[in-house]
Structure 1
Amino acid sequence: MNILLISSGFQGVYSFFERRIAGALQKAGHHCAAFQAGSMLNVFKLKQQFRQPDLILLMAGLKVQEPVLECIRQSGIKSAVWMTEDPYYMDWTVPAAAYVDYIFTIDEAALEQYKALGHPRVYHLPLGTDPALFCPSPVSAEFESELCLVGVPYSNRIEMIDFLLAATDYRIQLVGRGWSRYVQQWNLSASGRVGLVNAWVKPETAAGYYNGAKIVLNIHRLADERYNRNRMGVAAKSINNRTFDAAACAAFQLTDDKPGLSGQFAAGQEIIPYLDKYDFLQKLHYYMAHDQERRHIADAARRRVLAAHTFEHRIQQLLGIIQV
């Protein structure tokens, strides 16, 4: 099968996802040509590269110019978009959805919105992970921590770290761009208990921090975060891709409870959800004191990932739905 993969045009984690998705397509025996369609100048090139593919797969659906979308629609080729940032940028993704035959979204609340808007073929498809990269591995001391959070400082994450520093004596490792302004103040009052890597890190580096943490803190983004483009205020129901990555490392996770968690993992047996910061604190103390139980749960999460949550699984699901 010939598949034209139109990349998001973004760097960082987006390009990582797209390389892994292209690799999964090729591993499944399909020919995959990647193309970046970020400007009107690329529309002619896009038309040239069609060469009658069986499927056009558009990644992310963010800020795609209308001429590119119209080119896809007029091609007569089956088309799909995989919305990998839902529901946080639905101001941008909803207009793009009208141009494609199939919508795949990582979030169940976003799925409900696309269906309500009348699109006939909308499916929930979380991102997967690469268990060859995200895997259990010994790490050096620089990656070790009691509690680790990988991600940017959204307001609910800042609030949780502030609470933990006041309520506990644990050392916390923060990894992500934008934390420095908060960490300087925290360390003045918390005896230097906060470690910081104030940058976006490569996936293989993030895997090191997952492997080095006793507990990974996974706090999901809020619907009304100021960075969002989500005027409809759609609140995410599904878990983020970090959940799969950390689980693939056999890292123990405490995550805010999401309705979609139980559809992907056995909540309480493979990943531990918490209801609020007080419930989190109780569970944090318990699992810090029970190493063997913590390891048993984390190992179960990795087994689940290997059985159901790799990029190869996702590509199989996507193509099975489209039935190209």
Structure 2
Amino acid sequence: MTHFAATALRLLGHEVVVFNYERENQVERVREKLGFRQFLAYKNRQLLALAEATKPDVFFTIYGRNHDAATLQELKRRGLPTICWWLDDPISLAQNYIPLHLYDFFFSNSRGTAPVYRHYGVDTPRFLPVAVDPAIHRPLEDIEKQYDIVFAGDWHPTRERVLLELARHHHLTIIGPWQRRIPKNSPLRPHFLRFGYFTPDEMALLFNQARIVLNVHQWYQRWTYGINPRLFEASGCRAFQLTDSKEEIPELYLPNVEMILYDDAAALPELLTHYLAHPDECARIANNAYTRTLRDHTYVHRMEHMLRVCGLSG
């Protein structure tokens, strides 16, 4: 997502300097092994040195878990507006990881968590969902539909429970790092295309090959708000999507016109059977979602909105 956001900012005509907190060479690997806190302190010194050398106008971070308070205070002392885009709501709240009060602007992938952030000192928490990069999340030419129902994502016990029930009725195609999470005799294992993480390109290909993309938020039936990336990525590939309902979705996509929502996974076997039998209906809905995504939901749209809200778009 950092790559997608940086690319979008460059497309908008801005110069972007990206700082990577990951270890970049063997020396840094040794430093990290000597102590993670010391390693982060070292990387934060690097960040401040880069800021001194490049003289940026704005400091923007996604998540921001690695920036300590002293570093943020120094950036603010130098006159830089500080912006954080937190993308783990509602399952993992930002105040547990970052000094919220040191950000001038705070954006979240969930409207529903705004009261929590106001409680922890954010004057105006703002909703900014993720998006698509049309160079990656896109329809592919001459790709045939090979899989009835595709699920791509990390393991979660809620997802495992939903997919186990569906596997009794339908053949699924699953991809994700589940191998160490499910029993060796799990009925889901034959449904895996492969185990492990996947690249954005691999995901886009799989979505192009799917008759139905199934989206199950990790927080299904726990929170009624918060949007995950799959909502947009599948639509950017012009894939037909079934997703659990979230409060923010109707302002982003028209239910029953641009995607199909379910409140209870118990309805999924009937929904899946219906839509597998009506490919023309699926194609119409998927095309509607694709059109909306290109119009409203690219990373360029998100970065434009963010800069405008922060008074930095002039």
Q: Classify the TM-score, shorter chain.
A: 0.7 to 0.9
The structural deviation recorded for 1:296 is 0.3
Deviations 1:4-23 (A, max 9, x none): xxxxxxxxxxxxx1111111
Give the distance between the partners of 1:268 and 1:180, measured in 2 at CA: 37
After superposition, the Cα gap between the structure-2 partners of 1:40 and 1:139, relative to the gap in structure 1 and judged at 3 Å, is farther
Deviations 1:239-263 (A, max 9, x none): 2111100000111111111111111
CA contact (8 A) 2:156 2:218 kept: yes
Unaligned runs of at least 5 residues, structure 2: 23-39
The 5 A counterparts of 1:1-324 are 17-37=1-21, 39-50=40-51, 51-90=54-93, 92-93=95-96, 95-138=98-141, 144-166=146-168, 168=169, 170-179=170-179, 182=182, 184-187=184-187, 194-222=191-219, 235=223, 237-324=225-312
TM-score between both structures, scaled by the size of structure 1: 0.83
The structural deviation recorded for 1:63 is 4.4
The structural deviation recorded for 1:75 is 2.7
Runs of 4 or more, structure 1, over 6 Å off, are: none
RMSD, matched Cα:
2.4
After superposition, the Cα gap between the structure-2 partners of 1:173 and 1:146, relative to the gap in structure 1 and judged at 3 Å, is same
The structural deviation recorded for 1:185 is 2.6
Give the distance between the partners of 1:193 and 1:119, measured in 2 at CA: 47
Q: Which amino acid aligns with 1:80?
A: I
Give the distance between the partners of 2:98 and 2:281, measured in 1 at CA: 47
Q: Which amino acid aligns with 2:160?
A: I
Give the distance between the partners of 1:163 and 1:139, measured in 2 at CA: 33
SS in structure 2 of the partner of residue 263 of structure 1: helix
SS in structure 1 of the partner of residue 99 of structure 2: helix
The structural deviation recorded for 1:165 is 1.9
Unaligned runs of at least 5 residues, structure 1: 1-16, 225-233
The structural deviation recorded for 1:193 is 5.6
TM-score between both structures, scaled by the size of structure 2: 0.86
